[in-house]
Each structure stands twice: as structure tokens, then as C-alpha cells.
Structure 1
Amino acid sequence: MCGIAGLIALNPDREIGAMLSTIEHRGRDDEGAWTSEAIDDAGRRACLGHRRLAIIDTSSAGHQPMLSADGRYVLTFGGEIYNYRELRSELQSKGHVFQTETDTEVLLTAFAEWGKECLPRLNGMFHFAVWDNNERKLTLARDHVGIKPLYYFYEPAAGVKPGLLIFASEVKAILATGLVERTLDTEALNQFLTFLWAPDPNTLFRGIKTLPPAHVLTFQQDQIKIDEWWDVSFDEVDEGRSEAWWQDRVLETLDEVVNLEMVADVPLGSFLSGGIDSSGIVAMMKRHSDGRRVSTYTVGIESEDLRYDIIPDDVEWARRVNKHLDTDYHEIMLQPAVAELLPKLVYHMDEPAIDMAIPSYLVSQAARETLRVMLSGMGGDEVFAGYPRQLAMKIAGAFDPVPGMLRRPLMKTIERTLPGGLPGRLTAPLRNAKKFARSAGLDFEERYLGYGTYFTDEAKQRLYSDDMRASTREFDAYAAHRRYFARVKNAAPLNRLLYVDLKTFLPCLNLITTDKTSMAANLEVRVPFLNRRMIELTARMPPELKLRGFKRKYILKRALEKFLPHDVVWRKKAGFGAPIRSWLRGPLRPMVDDLLSEETINRRGLFRPAEVRRIIDANLSGREDYNLQVFQLLNLELWQRHFMD
């Protein structure tokens, strides 16, 4: 895992040092930069930079940027190519000779041999840039689901001023050049308030874009071309197999991808929540550890902090799995100085942080004391249908025969009647019932979008200042989701939901948070459930094996009964988050009052102070569960103070 950066500009070597300095945390083992000769009459040069976290072949032979033997191609690469040994053998059979044992050299040689057509051959997680000295062309690429982030900024030529292209693993590296004006993107802000994140390719910085997952960008003669190099298909669902056959295939594939993703020349371990996903990963790791105990790390939450929250404490379950699998177990309790930690997380995220960022960073920091690589169970919910909202869609579908003119008012009445944030034993059931009723009366696509919405369009209109209302009037926050729904309009309903999540929620929230928080601790995190082999297997699986009755991730759980205790397999799902509801009433309350004061809100000019105060008060009273919205607004102000002021 590494950090990459580069630009095509006049005198780019003046900027690359500052860019690499800002992403030093992504790789502390080595730094390198390469600059071309002038590539045009204007005198622009291409410059590639790299920060290295050595994982495979940790010797100096892995120094980057790396040049091909003939000097034509230059590569800066972050991530891992898990099947590099197989690719190496294939390339050797074509006459290529290798000088190192690195996956970097394999990727560089594969690109020299096949160009961007090498991408479907890669099994891994990656972001990389290749400069072609002969064609004077830059290629940027990102892995199939966006495990690794990649950002870019392009400014076309204007008069005598030549065009400018900048790219990096993190936005802050692009900003470090001083060549990009820091301006808030109001369309992205509108999306961020809706979902807690903005769909690709938008960021909160106007003009700075993400390269979407499974896409490749080419830049030549001031022309940008972006193509999709992979997509999952649900067109060939295999209905003719028994449940036992699918259980065997799931175990076989999980075992295969875990083994594949354990390739490393440094110590590695796994996160362990005691849930089915991480426990299944650890069970498979044990099979390939040659008798060594697997190092595991768990985050626990203090009981007092769970009064207002629906997150059960994972520690009890993690201890049970540890005892069953005999791991080298490490446990940390979540007791951060959260008011001091949040600004640091916002800096590392390049965007407002979500609650999950806090435990993710702290457990990564703890693991990095002994390890360089961790496996994670992230992705199991996306490929096997593990989210409550997917079950909620199935339950709500039972009300579809009721005419909409009756169904919608009924659900609205239920939503308004139920309290959202009172403490006690009924906290979770009441909150979930209220959330269910909020969207259950809508049609299929709108219903699913509603379950992922935090500020509705109506709520944003109440929140926005007059200027913000005017500037966002034409925006549809759900446009990207609708496009993805349209792509799979003929797929089974559940698969349509999984596809939309795979393209939006997964890369834009979960994976970006995991990457930024782990890399802030100089730790590499791998996600076997999102290996292409697993995704493509589950795409062929009948959807009723993923969600059977009220049982989410049904086939995965049945398969892992062979390795894990029955109560661990079928335990109630626990989300990976932090006790935000408790913290907003405790250590974060002074920060909320300060950063979301009437004076601050007026100065920003984005929101109406009275509405912000109403949201805060309604949340504190327990009438509504606005905790994530308040946390969102708080982090947005922290982001503006760091990146915009």
C-alpha cells in the first residue's frame, strides 16, 4: 500500500515535494519522484511521485516511480496485485525478464505488454498512473470497486496559459500544489447532506473529481477520456444448483480469496468484530497460517455510551470467536478524546468524517504497533445482502397491494407518532420502526433511496439559506442512483439494490473511510469479500439464497456453520460505528454549541441558524433521531475550518 501523486504542468518538480509530504502517512519506507523532458512547445513536463509502504519484496528493488527496461513507461502504483505470480509466469512465457520480486514490476510489464487491456487480468486493489514517453500519454486507473481512492483536477488551456492536470491518492496532495482554488462545490454539498457522502465523481471541492471505481482515464494532447473497464453482471443467475452446492462454492471461494489476499512479506492479521464476516475471514486465515495463531484486533464500547445507541457491543462475541479459533487476540475499548480526535480525522478524510471513522482509525492505530497488513470483513453485506434496509425493502413490499393513496398517509402517520431518540430498551425498535415507516409507503426505487437519506429534499429546503436554495434548485441528489438502477432494470429486485450499493454507498462511504483511516495509521487493509472472484460468484447466485425469509446473508451463514459456533453465525447484526448519540450529549455537546452557533452559521451563509438550532434541540429532547445529521453538520464546519478558511 502506498501513496501516489503527480502532475502535468510547467515546472512540476517544484510542486511534487509538497504533494508527497502531505501523504507521507501512506508510506514511510521510501519516497521517489520522476520528471520527464518537456512534452510540448509550452515546456510542460510530466512528473510522477510515490510514497512507499513496503509489503511485497521490501528491498530497495521496489523503489518507485519504476521505469520499464526500455525506458518507455514510468509507473507509480499503490495497492496490491494478488495474482502477480501467475501474471509474472505468463509474461515470462512471452519473453519478459524480471529484475525484482515485486508486484510493481509485474504491473509495469503487464501494461507494457497489453496496455490498459491488462486491467481485467488484475486481481487486486490498486490505483496507479503510467506515463508513456513515446506517445506522451498519461493513464490513471482504479480497481474494480474503489478500494483505493484516486482524485484528479484538470484545468484546460486558457490563452497562453497551458492546461494543467494533477492527480493523487488524497485531495490534500492536490491542494498542496497551490495551483487549485479552494471552492465549495454546492452540488456535492447537496448530495453530502442527503447521504452523508457525495457519489462519484463529485467531491466537496469544486473541480476536484474522483476517478470512479473500475474506470481508466487517459490524458493525451489535452484531451481526457474516461472508460469503464469492468462491471458486475446479474444476467447469468444459475438457478439449477442445490443449496448444498452453493454452500460448497461459497466456502471454496472464500478460502481461495483469503489465501490469495494473505500474500505479503510482512506480518499481517485481521480485524475481529465477532460478526459473521470478520469471523469467517479469521476462520479461513487459520487454515493458511501454518499453525501460527492469527493476530486479531477488536474494538469495544463502554456500556454507559450505549444508552442511546443501537450498536450492540462486539467484545463479548469477539471473545467467543477468539476462544473458538484460538487467535492472538487484542482488545481496545473506545475511550477517545473525541473532541480532539475529530479535527484530525477530518484532515485525513479530506471530507467530513462519519462515526465509523473513529473506531476504524483507533483500531488501525493499535494494530499498526505490531502489523503492517490487516484483513477486514467489509463487503460481506454488499455481496450477500446483510443490511437491514434490504430486509426492510422486502417487508415493505408486502404493503404494495395496498393502494398508494392509503399506504402513504398511513406510514406518514406512524412516522410522526413514534419518538426517535429516547434512551432505554426500546431505543432500537422504535428508531428502526420510525425509519421504516418514513419510506415504506413509497415506490420501489424511491423507497430504497429513502432508507439511505438523512436530509430529505424537504428538510434541505428548510435548512438552506436563500442563496443555497437558489444555487441547488436544479440539482437531483439521487441522479447517480437512478442511473445505476436503470442499468440493472431487468435484474431481480434484490440484485438491483446490491448493484446500486456496490456503485455508490460502498466506494463513496465505506471503502473511502476504511482507506483514509487505516492509511492515516500507515496500515494496509484488505477486503477479501470484495475480491472479484467473490463478487462474480455471488452475482450468479439466486437472490433467495442471499436473503431467505427474514434471514440476511443466509447462504454465507449456512456455509460458515462448519467453522463457527451456531450462535455466532446467527447472532443479530451489529453495525461498525461509534456511540455518537451518547457523545453528542456528553463530550461533543460544547463543540456543537460552539461550532454550530448562530454566529458561525450566519457567517457561512449556507444554512438558516434557526433551523440548525431546531434540529439540535429536537435531537436532544429525544423527539427525533437527528444524531447523524447533527454530527454531519458539526464535521462539515470542522472541514470548512481546515480546508476552506
Structure 2
Amino acid sequence: MCRIFGSLSAAPALPDPGELAAVSARQRHGGPDEHRVLRGPGWSLGCDRLAVTDPRGGSQPYRLAHLPGITAVFNGEICNHTELRRELAARGHRFPDGCDGTLLPALYAEYGPDFARRLDGMFAVAVLDLRAAPRLVLAVDPLGIKPLHHHQGPDGTFRFASEIPALLAFDGVRAVPREDSLDTVLCLRTPVSARTALEGIGLLPPGATAVVRPGRAPVVRRRPPGPGAAETAPEAAGEGVREPLRREVRRLARADVPVCVLTSGGLASGLVTALAAEEARAAGAPAPHTFHLALRGRPPGAEDARARQTARRARTVHHEVFLDPAELPSLLTRTTRHLGQPDADPAALLAYALFRTVRQAGYTVALTGDGADELFGAPARLHAAASPSGGDWAASYTDALGAAPRMLRSWLYTCDYRAHLAGEGSAADRVERELRSRPDGDRLAAVTAFETRWRLPAGPLRRADHLGMAWAVEARMPFCRPALIAHARTLAHARTLAPARTLAPAAVPDRRALYGAGRGLLPEAVARRPRQPPALPLAALIAPGGPLLEPVRELLSPRRLARDGRLRPERVRALLERQLERPSEADALALWALAAHELWTEVVRGMRVPLDHAA
């Protein structure tokens, strides 16, 4: 697990070492164990390493003595590296260590830009091929768990980095927020596409490979998906989840560094906890350590009691961490800087604090339950798409996805901003067009494809990666492994109604498969409990006496908003006054999204120094 960066230019000059050092410094929190940069005429490759597999080997950038023209850098984990190593050794390749990324130059030499189809894992890879005409090949895993951000300047120079703040340290990469970034945050809570919230900065799409030649625009292609799983009968759904999940937990729980489990109190993380403990007992290893974080004061919906029940049933060494709500304002800027893009999900604050605790306790790898809700149909927005015949199901879905409904957005925007969006199209418009574009009209397939291809990587997976790596913790997600993804897909297709092929309530994927998987492994209160969102009660936090009220009030001051010109200050003030008189989660979320965007704009424009935990 690392942070990587690099550049490719048609100009023959050597990249400035001071500039490359500044780029490295911006993401060094994610790779504190080793820092190396290689550069040559018109190119650079660098890595900040978090040593997880073979900590004593695996020095990056990777070069093999018998392949001098190929250099690679890598962020992530290759689960099938042992099998690939045997295959490549049989073809005559030799490797100096057992690190998973060491085989990448040889794999590229054998398969060229198609090499990424052979990889099983979460990864972002950059390979520089100087054997003939220079070319840079970038690839990310099928879910985009490990990100690559990129920028191409007017002179054709192409630059990339794992994190946006690092990319902004390259000369010529400017921090210019997109005009539609505010609407994107209110519509979708965070940018949900290959286009980031900053002008000129893109994100390599999930499952994509890009080939870059000096001075030319990158050619980006999405790789074909891997083979699917066999269809699963509904009565076997629980076992169909449990067995592949058991295999993936067993695989991901193995590391050359300490591994723990994040136990939220929900069903998905409970399954991961129970199976990790089962694997430890089978191997004769000590019981795993589990971590749970909640706000002090036990707000409504607090999960600590259920997390404790899960840990007790699994016989783990359980750690309860209670965050004082008064500390939340101090986390705002740090969390925003590490995410790099605006994000209106307040759960990011808790995630940042939880990964901090995990790292301080000495752990480098954490297993999580991320991805289960999106893959197995829990989000209420899927049900919102199941509107009666004749209703606008795509609009219902996007409204459920957002932080503020469309009528409220229109009321808050200035006339000029509404006119701009009418001409360019809003973020909600783009999502609705994508949903409706499916030729067969299958609503279920449309919304689940959008959830897994765009929303899951942009929301939960981005937060797990960026906020985990903020503290040099690798988050591993068993539910995001190909076997579980394929199984979830077959269950969803099996419940699609024919011939109407609409997303009727009976066709919405439910949690029966997860319930079945948890039977006998988890306490009944956890195994049968409906999914609930993370317990961060915004209505109480942005209320008279609440710890987030003053930061939100300051970020949404009339002076700031008038200077920006996209929001009507008097109407934002009226929304805040309504929240103070009658606190509600809906109004609090809208205010939080507005404040999150304003803070991100301020932070990204002022980025001049490396990120650190004191900022």
C-alpha cells in the first residue's frame, strides 16, 4: 500500500527534483516507510511506501535487472501475486523479493497494456515503458478502490498522483473549482464521475487502463469485467454469501503487519468480525482486535452496544473509542484536506478519528464491511426509484441520493447560477440521463450499475482509502472482492421482475442474503437488524448549543456567500434560522453540504504546504 505519482512530457528536460519532493511531501502520510523518485528526460516516477507485504523487500519504483526499459510504481494489494509469480518464473523471469508489486515489470513485459486484466486485487499501477517510443500506462482496479488523479497541461505534460493535494504541488496544476461543484455537492453529496470538482483534473475511472504518449491526450479504455458467478437460488443466498466471504476474509486477514477489524455494530461489519475471529481460531492465532468508534453521550442510533455484542459473540479483543463531540470542529479542515474533493457525508469525520485510533494502537491493516450496503441493496434510495408506474423513478432516485431536494436547491441558488445550470445541465440531470439511457429499461440494473460503478467508489471507498491512508492504515474490504460482487449481481438479476422489468418494491435487492449469512454467527439483534446510517446526529450537532453550529454559521456567513455569487445569502440565513427553531435532519444535511463545499473551496485554494495531522 503506497502513494504514487509521476509525469510524462514531450520536452527532454529533467523534471525539477524540488518539485517532485513537494509532490511526495503532500501524500507522505500515506507512505511513511520509504520515499524514492526516479527521473529522466521528460519523465518521473515516484512512490511513498507503506510497507505491508514483504516489508524488507519491495523497494519502489520497481525495476528488474533483465528488463531495464520498464519501470513501475504501485499502490494497493495484488491478491493473486503468488500465482502470477509462479507463472512468470516459468517464463524465465526472476524476482529479488516476495513483494506483490515486484512482478509488475515482468507482467507488463509479457502482456503489455493488457497486463491489468491479470491482476486480482485493489490497485493503482503506473508503468513507464522506455524500450522504444516512451509511453506511460496507468490502470486501476475494477471498483476504483485505489485512485489515480491526473492532469494534462497546455504544453501536453501529463501528471498523475494518488491524491489531489499532491497533484496540485506540480508546477502548472492550478486549484480552480469547477463552476458546477456546488450543485454537484448538493445533488450528489460528492463528485460522482471521472470528472473531479477541480477544472482540468480527472480521475481514472474504475476498471480503466490509460495509455499516455508524450504530448498526446491519454487513451482511456474500460477493461472487460471478469467472469461472473453462477446464479444463486434464493434459498441458498445466505450460504452463497457466507462461503465466498469466508474465503475473502481469510485471504485479506493475512499480512506481514498487524491486522485488526472495524466493527461498527451493523450486519456487514459483524460478518467480517465473526469470520475473522473464526479464521484466527482455526489457525491457532490470537483473537483479533476489533475497534468501534462512537460519539460520547450515546446519541440516538448509537451502535456501541451492538458492536459490543458482536465482539463478545466472536470473542475478539474489543476496543471502544468514544469521540467527544466538542472535538468535531477540529477535524473539519484536516478531513477536508485529505479527501481532496468536497464531501457532504458527515461520517467522514468519524472515519478519520477511527483510523487515527487504529494507527495509534499499532495497526497497519484494518478489515471493514464497506461495500455491502451498495452491493446487497440496502440503501433507501433504491426503494425511492421504485415509484409507481408513470412516476419519474430516475428523479426520485437522484433526490434520495442528494443532500438537498431540487426545490430547495433552486430556492437557494441565485438567478445567475440557475441560468448557468440550465445551460450546462445540473449534476442531477447527468445522473438521470445515465439511468434512463439503458436500452432495456431495466431500472434495477440501471441503479445498481450506477451505485457500484460510480457512487460506491466516490463515497465509501474514497473515504476508506483517503482517510485510512491519512493515518497510514490500509483498509481492506472483503465485500468488494470479485466473488462477492458477482454474487450480489446474480441475486439482483434473479429478483428483477419480467416482463415489465421495472424496479418494483419486490424486485429491489434486500438484505436476505446478508441475514442468512449472519444466522448462527451473530447475535440475533445484529443479524436481523435493518440497516441504519452511521450515527452522527446532524440535527443535534447543528442546533443551539451544538458543536458544529458555529463552524457552519461562520462558513455560511453572508459576506462569504455574497463574494461567491452562487447562493442567495438571505435564503441560506433563513434555512439556518429554520434549523435553529425546528431542528431537522433534512435541513441540517443541506446546511452541512453547503458548509462542506465552502470549506473545501477555501482549503483547496489555500493549499501551499504538505498535509499533516496538526493542520
- Shared fold by TM > 0.5? yes
Q: Are 2:136 and 2:213, in contact at CA under 8 Å, matched by a contact in 1?
A: yes
Check the 8 A contact 1:185/1:206 in 2, yes or no: yes
Rounded to whole Å, the distance in 2 between the matches of 1:365 and 1:391 is: 35
**Contact preservation (8 Å) 2:150, 2:160:** yes
Q: 2 CA distance for matches of 1:213 and 1:542? A: 21
Q: Which residue of 2 aligns with 1:314?
A: 303
Partners of 2:553 and 2:266 in 1: how far apart?
37
CA contact under 8 A between 2:148 and 2:160: conserved in structure 1?
yes
Amino acid at match of 2:447: L
Residue segments in structure 2 that go unaligned for 5+ positions in a row: 497-504, 607-615
2:332 equivalent to 1:342: yes
Matched with 1:614 is 574
Task: Name the residue aligned to 1:386.
Answer: 378
CA contact (8 A) 2:71 2:127 kept: yes
CA drift of 1:619 comes to: 2.2
Shift, 1:588, TM fit: 1.7
Match of 2:47 in 1: 50
- Matching residue's letter, 1:389: R
Determine whether 1:104 maps to 2:101.
yes
In the TM superposition, 1:297-446 aligns within 5 A as 297-303=291-297, 305-306=299-300, 312-336=301-325, 337-353=327-343, 354-369=345-360, 370-394=362-386, 397=387, 399-400=388-389, 442-446=391-395
CA contact (8 A) 1:126 1:143 kept: yes
- Would the alpha carbon gap of residues 107 and 578 (structure 1) be closer, same or farther in structure 2, given more than 3 Å must change? farther
2:395/2:432 contact within 8 Å kept: no
| Residue in structure 1 matched with residue 209 of structure 2 by the alignment | 216
Which residue of 477, 480, 487 corresponds with 1:537?
A: 487
TM superposition shift of 1:496: 2.9
Task: String of CA shifts for 1:268-306, please: whole Å, max 9, x gaps.
Answer: 011001211011111221232223201110012334643
Partner AA of 2:255 in structure 1: A
Please point out which of 12, 16, 20 is paired with 1:13.
16
Secondary structure, counterpart of 1:249 in structure 2: helix
User: What code does the residue aligned with 1:505 have?
Assistant: R
Contact (CA 8 Å) 2:384, 2:396: kept in 1 or not? no
CA contact (8 A) 1:139 1:219 kept: yes
Tell me whether 1:598 sits opposite 2:598 in the alignment: no
Whole-Å Cα distance in 2 between the matches of residues 551 and 245 of structure 1? Answer: 15
Shift of 1:113: 1.3
Distance between the aligned counterparts of 2:64 and 2:123, measured in 1?
Answer: 19
Structure 2 distance, partners of 1:244, 1:17, is 56
Deviation at 1:570, TM superposition (A): 0.4
Shift of 1:348: 1.0
Residue 181 of structure 1, CA deviation: 2.3
Aligned residue identity for 1:471 = H
Residue 188 of structure 2 corresponds to 195
Distance 1:254 1:480, change over 3 A: farther
SS where residue 333 of structure 1 aligns? strand
CA contact (8 A) 1:286 1:293 kept: yes
State how far apart, in whole Å, the 1-side matches of 2:227 and 2:415 are: 44
Indicate how the Cα distance of structure 1 residues 305 and 582 shifts in structure 2: closer, same or farther if over 3 A, else same.
Answer: farther
Other-structure match for 2:592: 631
Q: CA-to-partner distance for each residue in 1:12-67, whole Å, 9 max, x for gaps?
A: 2331100000101011000000012x2xxxxxx110111000000000x3111111
CA offset at residue 345 of structure 1? Answer: 1.0
Range that drifts further, 288-297 or 317-326: 288-297
Alpha-carbon offset, residue 218 of structure 1 = 1.0
Provide the C-alpha distance between the structure 2 equivalents of 1:581 and 1:594, rounded to a whole number of angstroms: 17
Residue identity matched to 2:402: T
1:129 counterpart SS class = strand
2:223 corresponds to which of 226, 229, 236:
229
Which residue is equivalent to 1:643? 604
User: What's the offset of the Cα at 1:243?
Assistant: 3.5
**Larger displacement relative to structure 2 (368-377 or 625-634):** 625-634
Deviates more, 1:80-89 or 1:258-267: 258-267
Which residue, out of 513, 533, 537, partners 2:463? 513
SS in 1 for 2:7: strand
**How far does the alpha carbon of each residue in 1:485-535 deviate from its partner, in whole angstroms, 9 at most, with x for none?**
356543854343221111222111111111111111111101110111211
C-alpha deviation, 1:232, in angstroms: 7.6
Change (3 A) 1:577 1:316: closer
Equivalent residue, structure 2, for 1:430? none
- Closer/same/farther in 2, CA of residues 482 and 119 from structure 1, 3 Å limit: farther
* Alpha-carbon offset, residue 128 of structure 1: 1.6
**What is the aligned partner in structure 2 of residue 567 from structure 1?**
525
1:247 equivalent in alignment to 2:205: no
Give the one of 407, 412, 417 matched to 1:463.
Answer: 412
Q: Which residue of 2 aligns with 1:22?
A: 26
For 1:283 and 1:545, how far apart are their aligned partners in 2?
28
Cα contact 1:233–1:539 (8 A) shared by 2 = no
3-state SS of the aligned residue for 1:186? Answer: coil
Provide the rounded CA distance (Å) in 2 between the counterparts of 1:125 and 1:465: 42
- Bigger CA drift: 11-20 or 447-456? 447-456
User: Structure 2: how far apart are the matches of 1:560 and 1:123?
Assistant: 26
Find the partner of 1:284 among 263, 275, 280: 275
Contact conserved, 1:4 with 1:78, CA < 8 A, in 2? yes
**Counterpart of 2:180 in 1: which secondary structure?**
helix
Cα deviation, 1:523-567, whole Å, max 9, x if unaligned, reads 110111011121112222355669879993101211220322322
Instruction: Measure the CA separation in 2 of the matches of 1:143 and 1:175.
Output: 24
Letter in 2 for 1:63: S
TM-score, normalisation: structure 2: 0.89
Select which of 449, 453, 464 maps to 1:499: 449
Q: Separation in 1 of the partners of 2:419 and 2:441?
A: 38
Answer yes or no: is 1:66 the counterpart of 2:55.
no
Two-structure CA RMSD over aligned residues (Å): 2.3
Partner of 1:42: none
CA 1:562–1:173 in structure 2 vs 1: closer, same or farther (change >3 Å)? same
1:478 is paired with a residue whose SS is helix
1:604 Cα offset (Å): 2.0
Cα pair 2:211 2:219 within 8 Å, conserved: yes
Aligned twin of 2:610: none
Q: Give how far 1:627 is off.
A: 0.9
Measure the CA separation in 1 of the matches of 2:359 and 2:441.
42
Distance change (3 Å), C-alpha of 1:576 and 1:199: same
Amino acid at match of 1:631: W
Residue 166 of structure 2: SS of its match in structure 1? helix
Aligned length: 581
Aligned to 1:146: 144
TM-score normalized by the length of structure 1: 0.85
Mark the CA change 1:488 to 1:247 in structure 2 (over 3 Å): closer, same or farther.
Answer: farther
Q: Which runs of 5+ in 1 are unaligned?
A: 39-44, 158-162, 307-311, 405-441
8 A contact 1:386–1:553 mirrored in 2:
yes
Separation in structure 2 between the aligned mates of residue 248 and residue 305 of structure 1, nearest angstrom: 35
Please state if 1:578 is matched with 2:536: yes
In structure 2, which of residues 151, 154, 163 is the aligned counterpart of residue 170 of structure 1?
163
Change (3 A) 1:73 1:549: closer
Give the Cα–Cα distance (whole angstroms) in 2 for the partners of residues 295 and 488 of structure 1.
45
Q: Distance in 1 between matches of 2:519 and 2:43?
A: 54
Query: Which AA in structure 2 matches 1:188?
Result: S
Question: Would the aligned equivalents of 1:232 and 1:535 in 2 still touch at CA under 8 Å?
Answer: no
Q: 1:587 aligns with which of 531, 547, 565?
A: 547
Mapped pair 1:522 → 2:469: no
